[in-house]
């Protein structure tokens, strides 16, 4: 079976290499790469790397090298067509039938790229001609210089029913292809001629991840109540607007370097942000974010920042994005939301207050859970138990939509903690100890989890060299105690941004950042008696062994609480969904305990101590 280059390109775009490999190999993220033990030969020290940016894996031990397709072929014993079909099925793509008709469609798609490219070049030329003067004046009035206009290939569509058609005909392009590429509108009825779709508009080429023009967005210059201000190309063999993000081809490199991508509302926001130095900006195409677009961003970074306008429409867009992302959430992946001032968009904010104001907004972006909290509470804590119970049910309904049990459990506990922390003294509550309320969880389990959290942090602070081995896992959990969770985030941010910093340097930075009190509680000699391996004078191999086993115990405690919650939920409603969640959580608990020595650690009041 033969596959077209276009189909294989889309397949590689829609699958994540690390996601494919991680089904067989336990990967640890290190900068822009992942590493793990090679599945192709026996080794004790990881020499196998996965590079998402370049789309290949490589083992420095045995020399194995290849793409996601190669990996599936070699690990599952499949041939090339079978591997492609397997990956396409996982990506939700229909495998094209190898037929003369399919080959003809592939050739047609390639021809349509020629149509859209020639149209983009025509619009660019027109912008610099007398008939495009109004468009150029508008762009310069918005503060765009020639370099920015050229970078995004902005052009102008003349105000005439057949000007674009005539120009493309001179390039040898048939009307039928212009219609198929979305450049012409073909009226019903054979006696009516086709005409230009875009007329009197500033033209923004829409490109795929490889930078090929696949469609256009046009902004109307003249005021016309009968015409839409913005008009996009229709769906074509090249363009499916629910899968495309405007500006993605420009944003890829900058987003990976920045560690995030900024998602805004429209073309001009992306362009204004890029001009101001925020090259990692993209936008959906006039619709709410889709599941495909969220997945596309997650293949690039783990926490995109959504920055919508500070008006009611912008807030509704943020709410829709939060709700759509819930079922897709998985450990380590989420969304953050930047709150723009009322009546402002990124373009106007940068214009009035400068890039520093925009950078501050992005830096203060809030997690998805905060958006849900604000949706249901208005930002105010309910005053009565009845009100809290009502809000809790609404928040639990949101949490239940999350498919991943680990993420779902953390959302539930976070919401309960915030609801009940000020609502009177609850029997067995963790609120007084800074943790999250968990129905059915005993105080001993909670105390054990909190102490284990302290040990995990103390060990890493005392041995910064462990960061490469444990940083990703520590980044994929949310600690039960809010104060410790904030410290966890600061420790990871400090170590990720300052290679070679020793334990004294890490501690000094943390104390300067306001964490002295909590550091005294986890780095003091009395506490470190409970975990000798966390002390700075312990060699790093012993420290790593102790960290690994404490982490396994911590995950066991965390999952035990989730199991109790799922059991209660199953008691309340015997549904297949609740049963599957309980089974999934139990399986995660068993996996967390695999390989944990029976005699290496004992739990003494929840504290891990060596025999």
Tell me what pLDDT residue 598 has. Answer: 43
**DSSP per position, 141-165:** HTT--HHHHHHTT-EEE-SSSSHHH
The candidate with the shortest Cα–Cα distance to 198, out of 174, 228, 238, is 228
Q: In this model, does residue 576 exceed pLDDT 90?
A: no
Q: Indicate the CATH number for domain 443-610.
A: 1.10.860
Tell me what pLDDT residue 75 has. Answer: 85
Parallel, antiparallel, or unpaired: how do β-strands 281-282 and 262-263 relate? parallel
- For residue 419, what pLDDT band results from cuts at 50, 70 and 90? confident
Q: Are 108 and 176 in contact (CB under 8 A)?
A: no
Q: In this model, does residue 454 exceed pLDDT 60?
A: yes
Q: In this model, does residue 25 exceed pLDDT 60?
A: yes
Same fold, 248-372 and 443-610: no
Q: Kindly state the average pLDDT of the residues 369-383.
A: 84
Task: Delimit the domains of the chain by residue range.
Answer: 5-90, 100-232, 248-372, 443-610
For 311-336, what is each residue's pLDDT tens digit? Answer: 778 788 888 888 899 999 988 789 99
Tell me what pLDDT residue 101 has. Answer: 63
Tell me what pLDDT residue 49 has. Answer: 92
Instruction: Give the 3-state secondary structure percentages of the chain, helix then strand then coil, rounded to 5.
Output: 55, 10, 35
Q: What are phi and psi of 343, to 5 degrees?
A: 80, 0
Tell me what pLDDT residue 106 has. Answer: 57
Q: Kindly state the average pLDDT of the residues 200-225.
A: 89
Q: In this model, does residue 595 exceed pLDDT 50?
A: no
Tell me what pLDDT residue 489 has. Answer: 85
Tell me what pLDDT residue 587 has. Answer: 56
* Window from 40-49, 295-304, 557-566 with minimum mean pLDDT: 557-566
CATH architecture, range 100-232: Alpha-Beta Complex (3.90)
- d(CA 540, CA 169) in angstroms, rounded, equals 71
User: What's the predicted TM-score (pTM) here?
Assistant: 0.61
- For residue 482, what pLDDT band results from cuts at 50, 70 and 90? confident
Q: In this model, does residue 566 exceed pLDDT 70?
A: no
CATH topology of domain 5-90: DNA Primase; Chain A (3.90.580)
More confident of the two residues 576 and 420: 420
Parallel, antiparallel, or unpaired: how do β-strands 33-36 and 28-30 relate? antiparallel
Kindly calculate the radius of gyration of the chain based on its CA atoms and give it in whole angstroms: 28
The candidate with the shortest Cα–Cα distance to 585, out of 402, 353, 349, is 402
Contacts of 422 (CB under 8 A, 6+ apart): 381
Tell me what the pLDDT averaged over the chain comes to: 81
Tell me what pLDDT residue 103 has. Answer: 59
Tell me what pLDDT residue 214 has. Answer: 95
Q: Are 198 and 178 in contact (CB under 8 A)?
A: no
Token digits of residue 544: 């790593």
* Window from 4-18, 464-478, 481-495, 555-569 with minimum mean pLDDT: 555-569
Q: In this model, does residue 426 exceed pLDDT 80?
A: no
Q: In this model, does residue 50 exceed pLDDT 70?
A: yes
- Right CATH number for 248-372 from 1.10.3720.10, 3.40.140.10, 3.30.565.10, 3.40.1360.10? 3.40.1360.10
For 127-182, what is each residue's pLDDT tens digit? Answer: 999 999 999 999 999 899 999 999 999 999 999 899 999 999 999 999 999 999 99
Q: In this model, does residue 572 exceed pLDDT 70?
A: no
Tell me what pLDDT residue 498 has. Answer: 67
Give the orientation angle of helix 5-14 with respect to helix 80-90, to 10 degrees. 50
Q: In this model, does residue 427 exceed pLDDT 90?
A: no
């Amino acid at each position: 079976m033969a596959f077209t280059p276009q189909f294989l390109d889309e397949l590689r775009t829609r699958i994540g290499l690390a996601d494919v490999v991680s089904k067989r190999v336990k990967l640890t993220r290190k900068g822009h790469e992942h590493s793990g033990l090679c599945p192709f030969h026996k080794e004790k020290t990881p020499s196998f790397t996965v590079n998402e940016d370049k789309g290949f894996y490589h083992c420095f031990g045995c020399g194995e090298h290849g793409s996601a397709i190669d990996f599936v072929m070699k690990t599952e014993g499949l041939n090339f067509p079978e591997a492609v079909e397997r990956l396409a099925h996982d990506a939700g793509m229909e495998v094209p039938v190898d037929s003369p008709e399919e080959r003809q469609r592939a050739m047609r798609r390639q021809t349509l790229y020629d149509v859209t490219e020639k149209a983009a070049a025509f619009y660019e030329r027109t912008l610099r001609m007398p008939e495009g003067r109004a468009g150029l004046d508008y762009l310069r009035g918005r503060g765009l210089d020639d370099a920015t206009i050229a970078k995004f290939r902005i052009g102008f569509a003349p105000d005439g029913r057949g000007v674009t058609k005539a120009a493309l005909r001179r390039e040898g392009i048939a009307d039928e292809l212009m219609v198929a590429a979305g450049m012409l509108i073909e009226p019903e009825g054979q006696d009516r001629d086709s005409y230009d779709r875009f007329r009197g508009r500033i033209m923004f080429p829409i490109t795929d991840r490889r930078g090929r023009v696949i469609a256009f967005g046009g902004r109307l210059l003249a005021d016309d109540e009968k015409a839409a201000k913005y008009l996009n190309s229709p769906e074509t063999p090249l363009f499916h607007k629910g899968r495309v993000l405007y500006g993605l081809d420009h944003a890829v490199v900058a987003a990976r370097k920045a560690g995030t991508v900024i998602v805004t509302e429209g073309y001009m926001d992306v362009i204004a942000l890029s001009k101001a130095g925020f090259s990692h900006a993209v936008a959906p195409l006039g619709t709410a974010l889709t599941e495909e677009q969220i997945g596309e961003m997650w293949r690039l970074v783990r926490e995109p920042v959504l920055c919508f306008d500070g008006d009611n429409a912008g807030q509704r867009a943020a709410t829709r994005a939060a709700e759509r992302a819930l079922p897709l959430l998985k450990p380590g992946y989420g969304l953050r939301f930047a709150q723009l001032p009322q009546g402002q968009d990124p373009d106007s904010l940068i214009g009035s207050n400068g890039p520093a104001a925009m950078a501050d907004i992005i830096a203060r972006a809030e997690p998805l859970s905060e958006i849900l909290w604000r949706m249901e509470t208005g930002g105010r804590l309910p005053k009565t138990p009845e009100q809290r119970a009502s809000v809790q049910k609404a928040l639990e309904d949101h949490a239940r939509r999350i498919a991943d049990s680990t993420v779902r459990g953390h959302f539930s506990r976070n919401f309960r903690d915030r609801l009940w922390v000020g609502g009177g003294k609850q029997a067995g509550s963790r609120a007084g100890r800074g943790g999250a309320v968990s129905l059915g969880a005993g105080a001993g389990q909670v105390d054990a989890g909190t102490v284990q959290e302290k040990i995990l942090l103390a060990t890493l602070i005392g041995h910064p060299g462990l960061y490469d081995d444990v940083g990703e896992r520590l980044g994929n959990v949310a600690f039960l105690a809010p104060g410790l969770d904030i410290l966890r985030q600061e420790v990871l941010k400090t170590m990720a941004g300052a290679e070679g910093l020793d334990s004294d340097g890490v501690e000094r930075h943390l104390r300067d950042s306001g964490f002295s009190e909590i550091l005294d509680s986890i780095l003091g000699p009395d506490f470190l008696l409970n975990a000798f391996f966390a002390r700075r004078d312990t060699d790093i191999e012993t420290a790593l062994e102790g960290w690994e086993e404490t982490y396994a115990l911590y995950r066991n405690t965390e999952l035990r609480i989730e199991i109790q919650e799922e059991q209660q939920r199953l008691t309340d409603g015997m549904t297949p969904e609740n049963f599957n969640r309980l089974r999934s959580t139990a399986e995660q608990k068993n996996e967390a305990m695999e390989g944990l020595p029976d005699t290496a650690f004992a739990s003494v009041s929840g504290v891990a101590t060596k025999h």
